[in-house]
C-alpha cells in the first residue's frame, strides 16, 4: 500500500469557536461538522444522518441553531460558533445541562449535545415556553431513547415555567 | 453522602451522565489513533447469485488501498452465532442485497466511496424470494432443504372435541412489518492487530463477549489473543446485539492485512440498508370459546421472516412462541411456529425480540373475540386472565400474587377509559375527527428462556481498588438504559456504601468477566443479582480478614479495602450464576418454566383519526406495569417512555419499503420515526410485587414497553372507526384504502 | 459522507454584483449555493454533480424584505426564519408564514431560503403553492440586468425552470392585495414536523355578502409542479359557500391533478386528500364568512 498524494487544503477561514478565535486551512466544501470534529477535536458534535434530519450535529452559528452537517466551511468563515463544549464555563454546568441530568434527559447521550443546544436556542427566544413551543423547538432533534418525555421536562424545568403540560 | 439515604429506589445521578451532557462521552467515532486507516465495505447489489468476476475499475490509485476478500480469512469464514451459516465475507455466492463481499481501507476516508463505486462485480443472478408466502411455497429453496430455519411446537392439553363444544370459534390473521432500530449513532468499530497481542476492537456494541467469540473463530485465535472494548454506545435496542461481530471482523481483517489500526463507521444509508431489522411476522389464530367468552382452546400459528441467514431467528421465534398466548389462560393450545428464509439482509434482534409480533396478534385477536362473543374488550380479558396457580401455555405455574383484573381496573381508571369510550361513541356520530380508546394487556418474560441462563453461565466481579473505592466488573453494556447506574446502586446498597463510592469498569474483555450479553431484559434482574452476591462476597472477604467490623462505616470500609489491596495486591470477589432450584424447562417439548419472572402490564391508548387526511394522533397514553421493584424511578420511567415511543413508531409510522430484498427508504428523511411533535405525554405508572429471582426484587423492564402500544393503538383505531385493521405499520394511506373500499365495494383499488 | 471535499471549489465573492459577474464569465460552470439544505444533502450522498459552487448565502442584496405601499419584495436569500419573523408576512401573507413554519425543523428553517426552495423546484415544496396564489412575480438578475417573470410561468416541468445559466432569483414580489382575504393552508405529511408533503394546499378567498368574489387555490405534491386549480376556482367564484358547493368543488379536483405513487404516498391517497382539503377550505369559508 503506497501513501497517497497530499492535496493541500484550499482556503483559510477564521472562526470564533466557544469564545476562542481559530484560523484554519480547509477545503471550502468541508462540512462544518467535520471541521469541528476532525480539525478542532471538538467531538461533542455528532453525525447521526448527514442529511439534516436528526439534529445531532446542531450547533449555534451566530446565535442561530443550524445543522453543521449541511454547512460548508467557507460559509462559516467569520462566524461565531458554540458547540456543546462551549456551554460549560469553568467546570460549571449550564442550567440546561443540570436539568438534563436531573430529569434523565440523556439516555444514550448521542442526541444530547444537539438537543441541549436546540434547547438553549429555544429558551433564548422563549424564556417561558409552553409545552407546545418546547415540542416545536425540539422537533428537528430526533431522540430514539427517551420518547422525549423527560427531555421536555428537563427543558420545562430549566425554564422555571410552571404551566401545565 | 451517608448510608442512611436509600439507594435502591432513589433516582441517583447517572454514572456517565455528566460526560453525556457535556459532550465528553467518547463514542467510537470520537476516538482517533496514530496511523489510523478508514475502512469501507463493497456489498452485493443483487439479492441472490454467484459472483462471476470482480474488477477494480479505473480512476482509483488502487496501490494506495488495502483490499481484503474471503481468501484473507485465516480461521472460519463465518460470524459465529448459533448455526454459523452467515459468512463474514461472501465467497463466490451472495444471498441478499448488501451482503459484504470485500473490504477496502485507505488513510483518507474521502477516497473510500469513490473506490467502492469503482469496484464492479459481475454476477450470475439466481432466482430470489422476498416474502413469507414465497418462502413457504418452496418453488425456490434458498436455505437448507426447505427454507426453514427453525420450528417450534407447543402443546398443552388437547384440542379434541373443542371445536364441537365451542359456542364461538374466532379466527384472525395478523401481520407486522420490518422495523429499523434507528439508534442515532450508526454502527462503528476500530480494530488493531498485531502478532503478539492479537486482535483488539473498540466499538459501539451490546455484547462484548459475542464479538469476542466471533473474532476468535474468524482469526483462529485463542481467547487471550482477542480483546473487545465497548465504547460509549449511542443507542442499540438489539440492533447492536449480533451485528457488531460482523463489522468488528471486517475492521480486524483490514487491520491484520495492513498492520495499521482501522476504523469503519457506517453512514446512515449503509447502516439502514445493510444491518438487521425486526422480523416481519404473520400470526394466525383460531380460538374456541364458551358462550361467556372463556377460552376453551385454540391454535396459534406464527411465521417469521428471518432474511437470508439464520443468525438469531431461532431465539426470536422462541420468545415469540412463548409469548403468543399473552397473559391468558389456555387450558388447551397448539402453537406451531416457524422462521423462514428470504433473500433480504438477515433480520435480527430488536427490543421485544419476537414478543411484540405475537402479542400484537394476541391483543388484536382478543378484541375480535370480544366482538364475536358480544362482550366488552375489558370483560373478555377479565374472563381469561391468568391467575395465581394457573399455568401458562408452556405449563409454567403462576406463583406470584399478580391480580390482572385489578391492574386492568387501575389502568382504566388512570385513562378514564369508560367515560371516554362513552363520550367518543356519542361524539363520533358527527364531525370529521373520530376518537377511540383501546387496551392491551400483556406480559414479558425477563432473562434468557428456560435453560438459557444456565448456558450463559454468567460471571460477575466486584472489586475493591487501591484507593478504597469499589468497582463493578461486568460485561453488561450501558447504552442509555442505565446499566452503569443500576448495577452501582445494587453494589452500593449491598455494601452499605454511598453510591458515589462505587464505580463500574468499562466493559473490556481483557478486564471484566463474561456476565452475558446485554439483552433479554436480564441485566438488572440477573446480572444485578450476581452483583449483589459478588458484593456480599467482597464484604465477607473483608469481614473475615479481621480488618473490618460488622457494623462498619464507609470510611472503615474504605480503609479496609486499601489495606487489603496494599497487602494482597488485589481485592476481588466473583459470583457465578446458579439456576434457581425448582425451575424446570424442557427444551425438546418446550414445556415448563420459560422465564424466572414475568412483568405484567396494561396499556391504554387514546387516539383520534382525522378523516380529512386519515392521520392518527395518539392523544393520551397510559402505561401501567408491574415490574417487581422500581430500582431507579427516573430510569425506569425513561425506559417505558422510550419503549412506548418506539412502539408508536412500529404501529403508525415506521414502514420499510422493500424492492427486491433491499430497503428503498434507507434515509432518515423517508424512514419515519416520531418527532417530539408527534407523541403525547406518556403517563407511566408502576406496581411492585417483588421478585425472588431478581436483585432487590427487580424484574426486567427494557423490552416490556415495546409489546403493548401497537395493539392498544390499533384497538383504539377500531374503536374510533368501527373498522378493524390487523397489520402494522398502519399508515393513513392504508386506512383510506380500506375505508374507501368499504364505501364503494364494487370499485377495485390497486393492491398495495 | 460520500464526496471528497478536495474535489470541490466553493467561492464566496460576497456581493451580488461579484456573483453575477462570475456566473456571466462562465455560464453554467458555477452552481449557486445559498443555505445548502438541499445541495449539501446531495453532496453528502455523493450525488452532487457540480464541482464548482458559488456561495450566495447571506448576501445583503438578497436577504432583505422591503415593504412598499402596494407590494412587498422578499429577497430570494431570505430564510424561512426571516419570513417567520417578519410582521407584514405574518399579517398579510399568512400562507407563506405557515409554509415557512412547516419546512423542516428550526435548524433547517434558519438556513433554507425561499429562493432555494423555488430553484430546487420540488413538487412537494411547501412555500411554492403560497407564491402561486399570492400572484408572485420573480425578479431575476444577471450581469445583463434584471427581468421579471410571473411565478406562474416559472416552472415548466418537473424540476425545470425559466432561469438562464447566468441568472439568479433576486427578489420575490408579492402584491399586497390579500389583506381582506380569508386564507386557508394545510400540509399533510408523514408526521407533524420535519416531513415532506404528501399533499399541501394554499388557498385564498374573498368573500363579500356571503358570496365568493375571488378564489385562488394551489396544491403541492399532486403534479410535477405546484398547481393552480383554475377549474375549481371558476366553479367557486360567484357562489355562496356551503356543504353542497364544497362537495362539488371537491369533485373538480381529480381532473386537474396528476399525483403519483412514490416512496412517500400513493395516487389514491393524494387524490382523496386533495379533494378533502378543497372541501375543508370551502366549508371554512362558510363559517368565516358568517363571522364577517
B616-669 pLDDT, tens digit each: 999 999 999 999 999 999 999 999 999 999 999 999 999 999 999 999 999 999
Instruction: Compare all CA atoms of chain C with the CA of B659 and give the residue at the minimum distance.
Output: C263
pLDDT given for residue A165 in this prediction: 43
DSSP E strands, B486-589 = 502-504, 571-576, 585-586
Residue B267 with chain A: CB contacts under 8 Å: 50
Chain C residues 264-283 with a CB less than 8 Å from chain B = 264-266, 268-269, 272-273, 276-277, 280
Which of B669, B680, B741, B748 best tests the C interface by mutation, with the highest count of C CBs <10 A? B669
**Helical (H) or strand (E) element with B103:** strand B100-106
Looking at the fold, whether A38 and A72 belong to one and the same domain comes out as yes
CA separation for the pair B208, B726 (Å, rounded): 38
- What the block records as the C-alpha cell of B645 is 415511543
Identify the CA nearest to B441 among candidates B647, B623, B692.
B623
CA separation for the pair B200, B642 (Å, rounded): 33
Contact A66 C43 (CB under 8 A): no
Cα-Cα end-to-end distance for chain B: 62
Q: What are the extents of the domains in chain B?
A: 17-26+452-576, 31-126+181-274, 281-449+590-743
Phi, psi of B196, rounded to the nearest 5 degrees: -70, -60
What angle is formed at CA C179 by the lines to CA C177 and CA C184, rounded to 5 degrees? 105
**Domain assignment present for A1:** no
**Contact at 8 Å (CB) between B494 and B532?**
yes
Query: CATH second-level architecture of B17-26+452-576?
Result: 2-Layer Sandwich (3.30)
Chain C residues 76-115 with a CB less than 8 Å from chain A = 81, 104-108, 110-111
**Helical (H) or strand (E) element with B254:** helix B243-258
pTM of the predicted model, to two decimals? Answer: 0.97
**Helical (H) or strand (E) element with B734:** helix B732-743
Looking at the fold, whether A78 and A111 belong to one and the same domain comes out as no
**Helical (H) or strand (E) element with C59:** none
- List the chains bordering chain B where 3 or more Cβ pairs fall under 8 Å: A, C
What angle is formed at CA B659 by the lines to CA B657 and CA B665, rounded to 5 degrees? 35
- List the chains bordering chain C where 3 or more Cβ pairs fall under 8 Å: A, B
Contact B113 C2 (CB under 8 A): yes
Helices (H), A43-111: 95-103
Q: State how beta strands A64-67 and C145-150 pair.
A: unpaired
Sheet order of strands, C227-228 included:
C182-189, C197-208, C211-220, C227-228
Looking at the fold, whether A149 and A123 belong to one and the same domain comes out as yes
DSSP B114-164: HHHHHEEEEEEE-----SHHHHHHTSS--STTTSEEEEEEEEES--TTHHH
CA separation for the pair B302, B299 (Å, rounded): 10
C125-176 pLDDT, tens digit each: 999 999 999 999 999 999 999 999 999 999 989 988 999 999 999 999 999 9
Residue A45 with chain C: CB contacts under 8 Å: none
CA separation for the pair A28, A11 (Å, rounded): 6
pLDDT given for residue A4 in this prediction: 61
CA separation for the pair C135, B623 (Å, rounded): 51
pLDDT given for residue B749 in this prediction: 36
Could you tell me the CATH number of the domain that includes residue A102? Answer: 1.10.150.120
**Domain assignment present for A4:** no
3-class secondary structure for B332-394? CEEEEEEEECCCCCCCCCCCCCCHHHHHHHHHHHHHHHHHHHCCCHHHHHHHHECCCCCECCC
ipTM score of complex: 0.96
pLDDT for C291 beyond 90 = no
CA distances from B649 to B119, B187, B652, C219 (A): 37, 21, 5, 28
Q: B514 to chain A, minimum CA–CA distance in Å?
A: 22
DSSP E strands, B243-357 = 262-265, 281-289, 295-305, 333-340
Q: State how beta strands A20-26 and A11-17 pair.
A: antiparallel
pLDDT for C289 beyond 80 = no
Looking at the fold, whether A142 and A99 belong to one and the same domain comes out as yes
Residue A140 with chain C: CB contacts under 8 Å: 104-108, 193-194
Q: Is residue A52 within 8 angstroms of chain C, CB to CB?
A: yes
Which are the contacts of B303, defined by CB distance < 8 A and separation ≥ 6? Answer: B132, B136, B281, B282, B283, B337, B338, B339, B340
Q: Is residue C191 within 8 angstroms of chain B, CB to CB?
A: yes
CA separation for the pair B285, B294 (Å, rounded): 15
Q: State how beta strands C31-33 and C52-55 pair.
A: parallel
Specify the length of chain C in residues.
292
Strand partners, C11: C54
Neighbours of A98 (CB within 10 A): 16
Helices (H), chain C: 16-25, 39-44, 80-84, 87-92, 94-102, 106-109, 114-120, 128-133, 230-236, 243-256, 267-291
**Domain assignment present for A154:** yes
Phi, psi of C67, rounded to the nearest 5 degrees: -105, 120
CA separation for the pair B614, B608 (Å, rounded): 10
Q: C257 to chain A, minimum CA–CA distance in Å?
A: 30
Distance of CA B398 to the CA centre of its chain: 25
CA separation for the pair B231, B185 (Å, rounded): 12
pLDDT given for residue A160 in this prediction: 86
**Domain assignment present for A46:** yes
Phi, psi of B487, rounded to the nearest 5 degrees: -65, -35
Domain covering B281-449+590-743, topology: Aldehyde Oxidoreductase; domain 4 (3.30.365)
CA separation for the pair C251, C282 (Å, rounded): 12
User: How many Cβ pairs within 8 Å bridge chains A and B?
Assistant: 180
Looking at the fold, whether A81 and A19 belong to one and the same domain comes out as yes
SS3 B62: helix
Which are the contacts of B746, defined by CB distance < 8 A and separation ≥ 6? Answer: none
Strand partners, B437: B606
Looking at the fold, whether A107 and A65 belong to one and the same domain comes out as no
pLDDT given for residue B581 in this prediction: 86
Judge whether B17-26+452-576 and B281-449+590-743 match in fold.
yes
Number of domains in chain A: 2
Contact C8 A140 (CB under 8 A): no
Could you tell me the CATH number of the domain that includes residue A76? Answer: 3.10.20.30
Q: Is A8 left (phi over 0), alpha (psi -120 to 50) or beta?
A: beta
Which are the contacts of B555, defined by CB distance < 8 A and separation ≥ 6? Answer: none
For the range B50-54, what are the long-range contacts, defined as Cβ-Cβ under 8 Å and sequence gap of 24 or more?
B50/B92, B50/B93, B50/B123, B50/B124, B50/B126, B51/B90, B51/B92, B51/B93, B51/B94, B51/B101, B51/B121, B51/B122, B51/B123, B52/B122, B52/B123, B52/B124, B53/B121, B53/B122, B54/B101, B54/B102, B54/B119, B54/B120, B54/B121, B54/B122
pLDDT given for residue B74 in this prediction: 96
Looking at the fold, whether A17 and A60 belong to one and the same domain comes out as yes
Average pLDDT of every residue of chain A: 93
For the range B587-590, what are the long-range contacts, defined as Cβ-Cβ under 8 Å and sequence gap of 24 or more?
B587/B450, B587/B451, B589/B155, B590/B152, B590/B153, B590/B154, B590/B321, B590/B322, B590/B394
Domain B31-126+181-274 classified CATH 3.40.50.300? no
Looking at the fold, whether A73 and A110 belong to one and the same domain comes out as no
Of A86, A107, A133, the last residue of a domain is: A86
Looking at the fold, whether A15 and A57 belong to one and the same domain comes out as yes
Question: In order along chain B (752 residues), what is the average pLDDT of each group of 10 residues?
Answer: 75 98 98 97 98 97 98 97 96 98 97 97 98 97 98 98 98 98 98 96 98 98 98 98 98 98 98 98 98 98 98 98 98 98 98 98 98 98 98 97 98 98 98 97 95 94 97 98 98 97 98 97 96 98 92 97 95 96 89 95 98 97 98 98 98 98 97 94 96 93 98 98 98 97 59 35
> Who has greater pLDDT, B750 or C237?
C237
pLDDT given for residue A3 in this prediction: 62
pLDDT given for residue C143 in this prediction: 97
pLDDT for C273 beyond 90 = yes
* Segments forming the whole domain that contains residue A138: 95-159
Q: Is residue A5 within 8 angstroms of chain C, CB to CB?
A: no
**Contact at 8 Å (CB) between B327 and B385?**
yes
Q: Is residue C122 within 8 angstroms of chain B, CB to CB?
A: no
**Contact at 8 Å (CB) between B116 and B104?**
yes
> Who has greater pLDDT, C123 or B1?
C123
What angle is formed at CA B426 by the lines to CA B425 and CA B427, rounded to 5 degrees? 95
Identify the CA nearest to B507 among candidates B462, B467, B472.
B472
Q: Is residue A89 within 8 angstroms of chain B, CB to CB?
A: no
SS3 B451: coil
Looking at the fold, whether A74 and A37 belong to one and the same domain comes out as yes
pLDDT given for residue B748 in this prediction: 39
Q: Is residue C193 within 8 angstroms of chain B, CB to CB?
A: yes
pLDDT given for residue B2 in this prediction: 46
- What the block records as the C-alpha cell of A92 is 460549571
CA distances from A62 to A77, A81, B447, B523 (A): 11, 6, 50, 45
pLDDT given for residue B467 in this prediction: 96
Contact A77 C110 (CB under 8 A): no
Contact C193 A70 (CB under 8 A): no
Q: B599 to chain C, minimum CA–CA distance in Å?
A: 32
Looking at the fold, whether A72 and A115 belong to one and the same domain comes out as no
Q: Is residue C70 within 8 angstroms of chain B, CB to CB?
A: no
Amino acid at each position: 500500500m503506497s501513501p497517497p498524494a497530499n492535496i493541500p487544503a484550499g482556503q483559510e477561514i477564521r472562526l470564533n469557536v466557544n469564545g476562542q478565535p481559530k484560523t484554519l486551512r480547509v477545503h471550502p466544501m468541508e462540512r462544518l461538522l467535520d471541521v469541528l470534529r476532525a480539525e478542532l477535536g471538538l467531538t461533542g458534535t455528532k453525525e447521526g444522518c448527514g442529511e439534516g434530519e436528526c439534529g445531532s450535529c446542531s450547533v449555534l452559528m451566530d446565535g442561530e441553531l443550524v445543522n453543521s452537517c449541511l454547512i460548508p466551511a467557507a460559509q462559516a468563515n467569520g462566524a461565531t460558533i458554540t458547540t456543546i463544549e462551549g456551554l460549560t464555563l469553568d467546570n460549571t454546568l449550564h442550567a440546561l445541562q443540570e436539568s438534563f441530568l436531573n430529569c434523565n434527559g440523556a439516555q444514550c447521550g448521542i442526541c444530547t449535545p444537539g438537543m441541549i443546544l436546540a434547547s438553549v436556542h429555544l429558551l433564548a427566544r422563549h424564556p417561558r415556553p409552553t409545552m407546545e413551543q418546547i415540542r416545536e423547538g425540539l422537533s428537528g432533534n430526533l431522540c430514539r431513547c427517551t420518547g422525549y418525555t423527560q427531555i421536555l421536562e428537563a427543558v420545562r424545568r430549566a425554564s422555571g415555567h410552571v404551566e401545565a403540560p | 453522602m451517608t448510608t442512611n439515604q436509600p439507594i435502591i429506589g432513589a433516582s441517583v445521578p447517572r454514572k456517565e451522565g455528566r460526560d453525556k451532557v457535556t459532550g465528553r462521552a467518547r463514542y467510537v467515532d470520537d476516538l482517533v489513533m496514530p496511523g489510523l486507516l478508514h475502512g469501507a465495505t463493497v456489498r452485493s447489489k443483487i439479492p441472490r447469485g454467484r459472483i462471476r468476476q470482480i474488477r477494480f475499475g479505473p480512476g482509483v490509485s488502487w496501490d494506495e488501498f488495502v483490499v481484503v476478500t474471503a481468501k484473507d480469512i485465516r480461521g472460519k469464514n463465518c460470524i459465529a452465532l448459533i448455526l454459523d451459516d452467515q459468512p463474514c465475507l461472501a465467497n463466490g455466492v451472495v444471498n441478499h442485497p448488501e451482503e459484504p463481499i470485500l473490504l477496502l481501507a485507505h488513510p483518507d476516508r474521502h477516497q473510500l466511496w469513490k473506490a467502492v463505486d469503482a469496484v464492479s462485480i459481475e454476477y450470475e443472478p439466481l432466482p430470489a424470494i422476498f416474502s413469507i408466502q414465497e418462502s413457504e411455497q418452496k418453488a425456490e429453496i434458498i436455505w437448507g432443504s426447505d427454507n426453514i430455519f427453525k420450528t417450534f411446537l407447543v402443546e398443552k392439553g388437547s384440542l379434541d372435541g373443542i371445536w364441537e363444544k365451542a359456542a364461538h370459534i374466532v379466527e384472525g390473521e395478523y401481520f407486522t412489518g420490518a422495523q429499523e432500530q434507528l439508534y442515532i449513532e450508526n454502527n462503528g468499530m476500530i480494530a488493531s492487530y498485531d502478532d503478539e497481542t492479537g486482535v483488539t476492537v473498540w466499538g459501539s456494541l451490546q455484547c462484548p463477549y459475542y464479538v469476542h467469540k466471533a473474532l476468535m473463530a474468524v482469526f483462529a485465535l485463542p481467547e487471550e489473543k482477542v480483546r473487545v472494548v465497548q465504547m460509549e454506545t449511542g443507542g442499540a435496542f438489539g440492533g447492536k446485539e449480533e451485528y457488531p461481530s460482523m463489522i468488528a471482523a471486517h475492521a480486524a481483517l483490514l487491520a491484520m492485512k495492513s498492520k495499521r489500526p482501522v476504523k469503519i463507521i457506517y453512514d446512515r444509508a449503509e447502516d439502514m440498508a445493510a444491518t438487521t431489522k425486526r422480523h416481519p411476522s404473520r400470526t394466525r389464530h383460531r380460538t374456541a370459546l364458551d358462550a361467556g367468552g372463556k377460552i376453551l382452546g385454540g391454535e396459534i400459528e406464527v411465521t417469521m421472516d428471518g432474511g437470508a441467514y439464520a443468525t438469531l431467528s431461532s431465539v426470536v421465534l422462541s420468545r415469540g412462541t412463548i409469548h403468543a398466548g399473552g397473559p391468558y389462560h389456555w387450558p388447551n393450545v397448539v402453537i406451531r411456529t416457524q422462521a423462514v428464509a428470504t433473500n433480504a439482509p438477515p433480520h435480527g434482534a430488536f427490543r421485544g425480540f419476537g414478543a411484540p409480533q405475537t402479542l400484537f396478534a394476541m391483543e388484536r385477536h382478543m378484541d375480535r373475540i370480544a366482538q364475536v362473543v358480544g362482550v366488552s374488550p375489558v370483560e373478555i380479558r377479565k374472563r381469561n386472565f391468568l391467575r395465581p396457580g394457573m399455568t401458562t401455555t408452556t405449563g409454567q405455574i403462576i406463583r406470584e400474587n399478580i391480580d390482572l383484573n385489578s391492574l386492568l381496573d387501575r389502568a382504566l381508571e388512570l385513562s378514564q377509559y369508560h367515560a371516554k369510550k362513552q363520550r367518543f361513541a356519542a361524539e363520533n356520530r358527527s364531525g370529521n375527527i373520530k376518537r377511540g380508546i383501546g387496551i392491551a394487556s400483556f406480559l414479558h418474560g425477563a432473562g434468557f428462556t428456560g435453560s438459557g441462563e444456565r448456558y450463559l453461565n454468567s460471571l460477575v466481579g466486584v472489586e475493591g481498588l487501591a484507593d478504597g473505592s469499589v468497582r463493578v466488573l461486568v460485561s453488561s453494556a450501558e447504552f442509555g438504559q442505565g446499566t452503569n447506574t443500576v448495577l452501582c446502586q445494587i453494589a452500593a446498597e449491598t455494601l452499605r456504601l454511598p453510591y458515589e463510592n462505587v464505580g463500574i469498569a468499562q466493559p473490556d474483555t481483557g478486564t471484566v468477566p463474561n456476565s452475558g450479553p446485554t439483552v433479554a431484559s436480564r441485566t438488572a434482574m440477573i446480572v444485578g443479582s450476581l452483583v449483589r452476591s459478588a458484593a456480599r462476597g467482597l464484604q465477607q472477604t473483608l469481614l473475615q480478614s479481621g480488618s473490618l467490623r460488622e457494623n462498619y462505616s464507609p470510611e472503615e470500609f474504605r480503609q479496609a479495602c486499601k489495606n487489603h489491596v496494599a497487602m494482597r495486591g488485589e481485592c476481588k470477589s466473583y459470583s457465578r450464576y446458579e439456576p434457581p432450584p425448582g425451575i424446570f424447562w424442557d427444551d425438546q417439548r418446550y414445556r415448563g418454566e420459560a422465564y424466572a419472572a414475568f412483568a405484567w402490564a396494561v396499556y391504554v391508548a387514546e387516539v383520534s383519526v382525522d378523516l380529512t387526511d386519515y392521520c392518527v394522533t395518539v392523544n393520551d397514553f397510559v402505561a401501567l406495569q408491574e415490574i417487581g421493584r422500581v430500582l431507579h424511578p427516573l430510569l425506569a420511567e425513561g425506559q417505558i417512555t422510550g419503549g412506548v415511543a418506539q412502539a408508536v413508531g412500529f404501529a403508525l409510522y415506521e414502514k420499510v419499503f422493500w424492492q427486491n430484498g433491499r430497503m428503498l427508504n434507507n434515509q432518515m428523511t423517508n424512514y419515519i420515526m416520531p418527532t417530539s411533535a408527534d407523541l403525547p405525554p406518556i403517563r407511566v405508572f408502576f406496581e411492585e410485587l417483588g421478585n425472588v429471582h431478581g436483585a432487590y426484587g427487580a424484574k426486567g423492564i427494557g423490552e416490556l414497553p415495546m409489546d403493548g402500544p401497537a395493539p392498544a393503538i390499533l384497538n383504539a383505531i377500531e374503536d374510533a372507526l368501527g373498522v378493524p385493521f390487523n397489520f402494522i405499520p398502519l399508515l393513513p394511506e392504508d386506512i383510506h384504502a380500506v375505508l374507501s373500499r368499504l364505501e364503494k365495494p364494487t370499485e377495485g383499488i390497486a393492491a398495495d | 459522507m460520500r464526496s471528497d471535499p478536495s474535489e470541490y471549489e466553493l467561492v464566496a465573492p460576497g456581493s451580488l454584483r461579484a456573483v453575477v459577474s462570475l456566473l456571466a464569465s462562465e455560464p453554467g460552470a458555477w452552481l449557486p449555493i445559498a443555505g445548502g439544505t438541499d445541495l449539501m444533502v446531495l453532496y453528502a450522498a455523493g450525488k452532487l454533480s457540480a464541482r464548482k459552487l458559488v456561495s450566495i448565502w447571506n448576501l445583503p442584496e438578497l436577504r432583505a424584505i422591503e415593504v412598499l405601499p402596494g407590494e412587498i419584495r422578499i429577497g430570494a436569500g431570505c430564510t424561512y426564519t426571516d419570513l417567520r419573523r417578519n410582521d407584514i408576512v405574518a399579517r398579510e401573507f399568512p400562507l407563506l408564514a405557515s409554509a415557512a413554519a412547516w419546512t423542516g425543523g428550526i435548524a433547517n428553517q434558519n438556513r433554507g431560503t425561499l429562493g432555494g426552495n423555488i430553484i430546487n423546484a420540488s413538487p412537494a415544496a411547501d412555500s411554492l403553492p403560497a407564491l402561486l396564489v399570492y400572484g408572485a412575480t420573480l425578479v431575476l438578475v444577471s450581469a445583463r440586468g434584471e427581468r421579471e417573470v410571473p411565478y406562474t410561468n416559472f416552472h415548466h416541468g418537473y424540476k425545470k425552470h425559466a432561469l438562464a445559466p447566468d441568472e439568479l432569483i433576486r427578489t420575490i414580489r408579492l402584491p399586497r392585495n390579500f389583506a381582506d382575504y380569508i386564507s386557508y393552508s394545510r400540509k399533510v405529511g408523514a408526521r407533524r414536523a420535519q416531513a415532506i408533503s404528501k399533499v399541501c394546499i394554499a388557498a385564498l378567498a374573498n368573500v363579500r355578502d356571503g358570496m365568493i368574489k375571488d378564489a385562488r387555490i394551489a396544491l403541492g405534491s399532486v403534479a410535477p409542479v405546484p398547481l393552480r386549480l383554475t377549474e375549481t376556482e371558476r366553479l367557486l367564484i360567484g357562489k355562496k359557500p356551503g356543504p353542497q358547493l364544497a362537495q362539488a368543488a371537491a369533485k373538480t379536483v381529480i381532473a386537474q391533478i396528476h399525483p403519483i405513487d412514490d416512496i412517500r404516498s400513493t395516487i389514491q391517497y393524494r387524490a382523496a386528500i386533495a379533494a378533502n382539503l378543497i372541501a375543508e377550505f370551502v366549508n371554512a369559508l362558510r363559517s368565516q364568512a358568517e363571522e364577517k
